[in-house]
């Protein structure tokens, strides 16, 4: 399917749809970056939406399944709701998971802290037919783009998007607006999660006869080629699984792209200091299909141990040791007070 060339039309028929897209973008559900750009008076200056074509109309995002070496064409519609001409850069970008657990799209120069500057998925395989677009006030423009996979594209799920941002540096800060692209490259899916850097810290308690608190920290890594979330359970137990204490409710992890990591810290209360404690983390990978259904997969479990001082038994032992030492000392004192042999008479014997 070949899309039409960029065209300019009246923006009224797409304004409502564009505003909905902009609001979704601002909430982090759909768009890239920091949300929709604002005009000088604080109002939204532009919106983006998917083009209406053989893929459908009023789509919330772009979703494709394509085999290695495959190619398809689609389009992005940009509406200028302002009163002056709008000049925007238009480009494709890979997605990444932020420290807050949100999926974001890289900036044009990929200068976000901790983000690899190299585009190696959607950002490398999607090309717009032009690097920028100028839209008159109250008009829309459609920007065609092409998705072309190399022959050696690895099977799996990829996330990225089409991003728009002011072409004039500093015109609207780092504000960007875009629509996500979820791409499934044909081949075998291998959904997999792992637990890394698992540690258990026991903080004890001021009550020598009471239970203390522990903190379990770990990193979830998506080691497969599917986009996954993780359902988590955490527990801490003594030897042979005795005195088990379970953590309270833990929220599911965010959606993790292949290769992404997510650091977790979980408090566990009511932990008995049983000399040797074992922390157990269980992850259930959650796979979301194209229809939005969530399928739980086989659980992954990992353990780590920590030594603790069991104060109550230790105090009992100290008391017993003290009593034994005191008894031995008393016994020695009593033995020292006794005579060491029969008394000898000093009166000489006389004969008659």
Assess if residue 272 is contained within a domain. yes
Residue 6 has pLDDT above 50, yes or no: no
Whether the CB-CB separation of 135 and 63 falls below 8 Å is answered with no
Judge if 78 and 216 occupy the same domain: no
**pLDDT category, 171, cuts 50, 70, 90?**
low
Task: Select from 211, 106, 92 the least CA-distant residue to 161.
Answer: 92
Counted domains in the chain = 2
Judge if 143 and 258 occupy the same domain: no
Judge if 219 and 119 occupy the same domain: no
Judge if 14 and 154 occupy the same domain: yes
Judge if 271 and 125 occupy the same domain: no
Among 154, 185, 216, identify where a domain stops: 185
Judge if 150 and 16 occupy the same domain: yes
Structure tokens at 20: 């909905």
Structure tokens at 188: 């075998």
- Which contiguous run of DSSP H or E holds residue 333? helix 311-337
Residue 30 has pLDDT above 60, yes or no: no
Which residues touch 331 (CB under 8 Å, ≥6 apart)? none
Whether the CB-CB separation of 126 and 160 falls below 8 Å is answered with yes
Instruction: List, for residues 279-305, the tens digit of each pLDDT value.
Output: 999 999 999 987 789 999 999 999 999
Among 185, 220, 245, identify where a domain stops: 185
Instruction: List, for residues 140-156, the tens digit of each pLDDT value.
Output: 999 999 999 999 999 99
Judge if 43 and 124 occupy the same domain: yes
Assess if residue 332 is contained within a domain. no
Assess if residue 134 is contained within a domain. yes
**CATH value at residue 230:** 2.60.40.10
Judge if 127 and 199 occupy the same domain: no
Assess if residue 2 is contained within a domain. no
Structure tokens at 309: 């001082």
Residue 178 C-beta-side C-alpha neighbours within 13 Å = 31
Task: Select from 239, 105, 80 the least CA-distant residue to 159.
Answer: 105
Q: Range of 209's domain?
A: 193-311
Assess if residue 31 is contained within a domain. yes
From residue 185, how far is each of 124, 182, 225 by CA, in Å? 14, 10, 10
Judge if 137 and 14 occupy the same domain: yes
Would you state the pLDDT for residue 36? 36
Q: Exposed e or buried b for every residue in 296-312, given b needs 16+ CB within 10 A?
A: ebeebeeebeeebebbe
Structure tokens at 310: 């069991």
Q: pTM of the prediction?
A: 0.74
Instruction: List, for residues 246-269, the tens digit of each pLDDT value.
Output: 999 999 999 999 999 999 999 999
Best mean pLDDT range from 121-130, 308-317, 337-346: 121-130
Q: Residue 72's beta-bridge partner residues? A: 147
Judge if 231 and 258 occupy the same domain: yes
Q: Tokens 């527990």, residue?
A: 235
Among 185, 213, 244, identify where a domain stops: 185
Assess if residue 340 is contained within a domain. no
Judge if 181 and 216 occupy the same domain: no
Assess if residue 169 is contained within a domain. yes
Would you state the pLDDT for residue 243? 93
Assess if residue 87 is contained within a domain. yes
Tell me which DSSP letter residue 297 carries.
Answer: -
Whether the CB-CB separation of 40 and 173 falls below 8 Å is answered with no
Whether the CB-CB separation of 200 and 165 falls below 8 Å is answered with no
């Amino acid at each position: 399917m070949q899309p039409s060339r960029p065209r300019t039309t009246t923006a009224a028929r797409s304004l409502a749809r564009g505003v909905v897209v902009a609001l979704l973008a601002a909430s982090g559900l759909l768009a890239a970056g920091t949300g929709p750009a604002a005009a000088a008076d604080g109002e939204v200056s532009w919106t983006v939406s998917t083009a209406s074509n053989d893929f459908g109309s009023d789509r919330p995002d772009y979703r494709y399944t394509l085999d290695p070496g495959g190619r398809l064409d689609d389009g992005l519609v940009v509406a200028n709701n302002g009163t002056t001409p709008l000049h925007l850069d238009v480009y494709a970008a890979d997605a990444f998971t932020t420290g807050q657990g949100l999926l974001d799209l890289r900036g044009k120069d990929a200068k976000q802290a901790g983000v690899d500057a190299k585009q190696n998925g959607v950002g490398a395989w999607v090309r717009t037919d032009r690097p920028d677009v100028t839209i008159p006030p109250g008009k829309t423009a459609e920007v065609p783009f092409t998705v072309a996979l190399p022959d050696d594209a690895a099977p799996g799920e990829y996330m990225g998007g089409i991003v728009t941002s002011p072409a004039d540096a500093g015109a609207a800060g780092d504000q960007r607006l875009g629509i996500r692209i979820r791409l499934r490259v044909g081949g075998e899916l291998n959904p997999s999660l792992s637990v890394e850097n698992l540690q258990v810290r026991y903080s004890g308690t001021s009550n020598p006869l009471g239970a203390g608190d522990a903190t379990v920290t770990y990193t979830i890594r998506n080691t497969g080629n599917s986009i996954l979330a993780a359902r988590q359970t955490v527990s801490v137990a003594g030897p042979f699984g005795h005195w088990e204490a379970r953590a309270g409710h833990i929220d599911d992890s965010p959606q993790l792209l292949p290769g992404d990591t997510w650091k977790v810290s979980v408090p566990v209360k009511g932990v008995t200091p049983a000399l040797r404690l074992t922390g157990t983390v269980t992850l259930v990978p959650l796979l979301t299909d194209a229809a939005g259904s969530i399928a739980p997969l086989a659980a992954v479990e990992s353990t780590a141990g920590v030594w603790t001082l069991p104060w109550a038994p230790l105090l009992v032992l100290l008391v017993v040791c003290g009593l034994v030492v005191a008894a031995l000392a008393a016994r020695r004192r009593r033995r020292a007070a006794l005579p060491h042999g029969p008394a000898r008479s000093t009166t000489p014997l006389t004969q008659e």
